[in-house]
């Protein structure tokens, strides 16, 4: 009897592990962020009573689009992921799931997400979902091995989810959609570049030609982080100037943006020197900037929601 129980427990554990592998393929952190920003865009664009069914369809479609893009990205980069310590234990490079299975899983999720957004939400949102997937997979992903400016291209699919949420609520590509896109776009640069600096040796091992790999002393990386952080301030307060958000959000946006600028300035000021001590200090500064970015966006979104309550 005890052996049967152990066999059953082993089967359950195996199934649980496989489910977790498929969840990992969907890049839950990035997908979760996409859903958060999309739903925030939906809420901001809604006038009057919330359409909760439409809200749920938007969430489901965004999850499927984001998860499908994440799985297909890992399919395309499976060999390079195996070269990096940060990603070598992912389901594909570790051999836990076959490439063919991931390809089918990713395509089904992506197409299903586009169908949900197009049919259950509206056509514009479905088109935006398609642009997100295509630009992420066929522009940003290959360009990482070609040019250090791939990050700017990658900022496009990363900044589209709140626009998808905005359009899902029945609004077009208007001033509000553009401002939400700008906030996400400018936020992404310090967020990704600080992370890329922390793992620059890993990216170099996989022969990615991103900025942090080619920038030996960190000066260009630091400058990019600072400039985009500075641009984030007018983009974020622009929502209040446009009459979309109120003064509570404005205070939150100013406070967060000024703090973000200070962290970016610290990172930029630490760059430009190649000796070991300064490089260590630069890595510490990049880590602080990265964690500041993790705080910035959800708190800003919460400020938007509270402001509208």
Same-domain pairing of 299 and 178: yes
Q: What is the pLDDT of residues 156-202, one digit of tens each?
A: 999 999 999 999 999 999 999 999 999 999 999 999 999 999 999 99
Give the C-alpha separation, 208 to 221, whole Å. 15
Could you say which DSSP state residue 66 is in?
Answer: H
Residue at which a domain ends, from 107, 141, 172: 172
* Domain count across the chain: 2
Q: What is the pLDDT of residues 224-264, one digit of tens each?
A: 999 999 999 999 999 999 999 999 999 999 999 999 999 99
For tokens 């260009």, name the residue.
220
**pLDDT for the residue 13:** 57
Residue at which a domain ends, from 133, 153, 172: 172
Q: What is the residue range of 292's domain?
A: 174-309
Instruction: Assess contact for 173 and 163: CB atoms under 8 A.
Output: yes
Same-domain pairing of 2 and 96: yes
Same-domain pairing of 217 and 100: no
Give the C-alpha separation, 207 to 84, whole Å. 10
Q: Chain centroid to CA 224: how far?
A: 18
Same-domain pairing of 86 and 189: no
Q: What angle do CA 63, 66, 69 make, to 5 degrees?
A: 145
Same-domain pairing of 123 and 140: yes
Instruction: Assess contact for 239 and 251: CB atoms under 8 A.
Output: no
**In the chain, what is the greatest distance between 2 CA atoms, to the nearest angstrom?**
70
Average pLDDT over the chain reads 93
Same-domain pairing of 122 and 181: no
**pLDDT for the residue 178:** 98
Same-domain pairing of 211 and 145: no
Same-domain pairing of 67 and 161: yes
Instruction: Assess contact for 75 and 103: CB atoms under 8 A.
Output: yes
Same-domain pairing of 167 and 287: no
Same-domain pairing of 143 and 259: no
Burial of 4 (0-12, 13-18, 19+ CB in 10 A): exposed
Same-domain pairing of 179 and 296: yes
Tell which residue, 163, 215, 169, has the closest CA to residue 185. 163
Whichever domain contains 109, its CATH number is: 1.10.357.140
Binning pLDDT at 50, 70 and 90, where does residue 6 land?
Answer: low
Binning pLDDT at 50, 70 and 90, where does residue 279 land?
Answer: confident
**pLDDT for the residue 309:** 85
Whichever domain contains 254, its CATH number is: 1.20.120
Instruction: Assess contact for 257 and 208: CB atoms under 8 A.
Output: no
Same-domain pairing of 183 and 196: yes
**pLDDT for the residue 12:** 52
Q: What is the pLDDT of residues 44-61, one digit of tens each?
A: 999 988 999 999 999 999
Residue at which a domain ends, from 114, 139, 172: 172
Give the C-alpha separation, 283 to 286, whole Å. 5
Give the C-alpha separation, 126 to 112, whole Å. 10
CA torsion 128→139→230→251, rounded to 10°? 30
């Amino acid at each position: 009897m005890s052996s049967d129980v152990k066999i059953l427990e082993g089967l359950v554990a195996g199934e649980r592990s496989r489910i977790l592998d498929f969840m990992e393929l969907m890049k839950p952190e990035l997908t979760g962020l996409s859903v958060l920003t999309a739903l925030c865009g939906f809420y901001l664009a809604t006038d009057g009573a919330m359409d909760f069914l439409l809200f749920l369809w938007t969430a489901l479609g965004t999850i499927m689009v984001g998860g499908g893009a994440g799985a297909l990205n890992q399919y395309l980069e499976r060999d390079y992921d195996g070269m990096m310590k940060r990603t070598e234990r992912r389901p594909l490079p570790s051999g836990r799931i076959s490439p063919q299975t991931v390809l089918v899983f990713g395509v089904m999720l992506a197409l299903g997400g586009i169908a949900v957004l197009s049919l259950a939400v509206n056509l514009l949102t479905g088109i935006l979902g398609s642009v997100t997937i295509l630009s992420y997979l066929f522009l940003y992903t290959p360009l990482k091995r070609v040019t250090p400016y791939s990050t700017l291209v990658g900022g496009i699919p990363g900044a589209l989810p709140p626009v998808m949420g905005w359009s899902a609520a029945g609004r077009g590509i208007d001033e509000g959609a553009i401002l939400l896109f700008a906030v996400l776009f400018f936020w992404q640069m310090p967020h990704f570049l600080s992370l890329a600096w922390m793992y620059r040796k890993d990216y170099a091992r996989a022969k990615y030609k991103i900025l942090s790999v080619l920038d030996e002393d960190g000066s260009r990386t630091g400058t990019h982080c600072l400039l985009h952080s500075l641009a984030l301030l007018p983009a974020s307060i622009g929502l209040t100037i446009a009459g979309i958000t109120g003064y509570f959000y404005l205070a939150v946006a100013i406070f967060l943006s000024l703090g973000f600028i200070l962290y970016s300035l610290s990172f930029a000021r630490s760059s430009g020197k190649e000796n070991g001590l300064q490089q260590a200090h630069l890595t510490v500064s990049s880590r602080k900037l990265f964690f500041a970015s993790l705080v910035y966006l959800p708190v800003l979104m919460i400020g938007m929601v509270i402001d509208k309550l």
